[in-house]
Amino acid sequence: MASLGSSRILATLFLAISLLHLTSAARTLSETSSNQLLKFQYHKGPLLNGKISINLIWYGNFKPSQRAIISDLITSLSSSSTSTSRTPKSPSVSTWWKSTEKYYSSTNKKLGISLGTQILDENYSLGKSLTTNQIVKLASKGPHSNAINVVLTAADVAVEGFCSSRCGTHGSSNGARVNGKRYKFAYIWVGNSETQCPGQCAWPFHQPIYGPQSPPLVAPNNDVGLDGMVINVASLLVGTATNPFGSGYFQGPKEAPLEAASACAGVYGKGAYPGSAGNLLVDPTTGASFNANGINGRKYLLPALMDPKTQACSTLV
């Protein structure tokens, strides 16, 4: 299971390893191990492929306008044009997602995604304090074959590890038998951090709780919580596609991997540095910062992705 929020801990670990005073023989072994940890690489396991539906499970109170922000994002991933909107301007969300094809270049596999079903649980069927096992239970409400089931929890829902160690996570679980076959489905969980920890999980749209302090950016959809969720959902979708079962593309230890997006934590545009998201596009009307255009005139801020060939973070702008 991969979580967003562990990258800073790993960065500290790698630095500590490099500063250890060892004997020359031990130092050689340490450097070899450290280099393997620091390299972003393919671990020979399966990647998601074929036609996959992304199903959204909304847990708690979300306004229809908030749900539309995420559903439009998912549709934008694979849409250059739709019957309900003109072709998104460049740079587009679909261009960002298309960069994941680099991960499939050495295989004969392809991944096609689309928005699937949406399930509403507005009555908090499992309460307002959830464990990881309950997140998996909610995810299992979606289809189990050829699916990524995304659980989205409302701002008043506490989730095990939320804010203290993670903003979201992805994993996999064995589903029910369908026509005699048991499918292993992928799932994602992301929480709305607007009231619980926006400084951790909705940066750069909120003042960070640590590190260099800079003014927060204006959220492109005018919703700090949901625009923060967009970043985390996008990051975990790429992680799910390229490291679905813990043996795909990642950097560092398998137990706490840095994946395609989390390996580039905090980078959204060229020139990014700690405390700055980089050089972004700015909407002249609203002053909102973004780097990708979606359907229905949507604007989004999406994370940089590690290029598996160049071993560098690649940005849209």
> What does pLDDT average to in each consecutive run of 10 residues of the chain (317 residues)?
53 31 34 59 94 97 98 90 63 97 89 96 98 97 93 98 96 76 87 97 92 89 98 98 95 94 96 95 98 97 96 96
Model-level pTM? 0.88
What does the pLDDT read at residue 2? Answer: 77
Nearest to residue 101, comparing CAs of 305, 317, 315, 312? 305
Nearest-angstrom CA–CA distance, 135 and 236: 15
Nearest to residue 200, comparing CAs of 169, 164, 171? 164
What does the pLDDT read at residue 27? Answer: 39
CA 212 to centroid of chain Cα atoms: 23
**According to DSSP H, which parts of 174-316 are helical?**
198-201, 224-242
Nearest-angstrom CA–CA distance, 128 and 182: 30
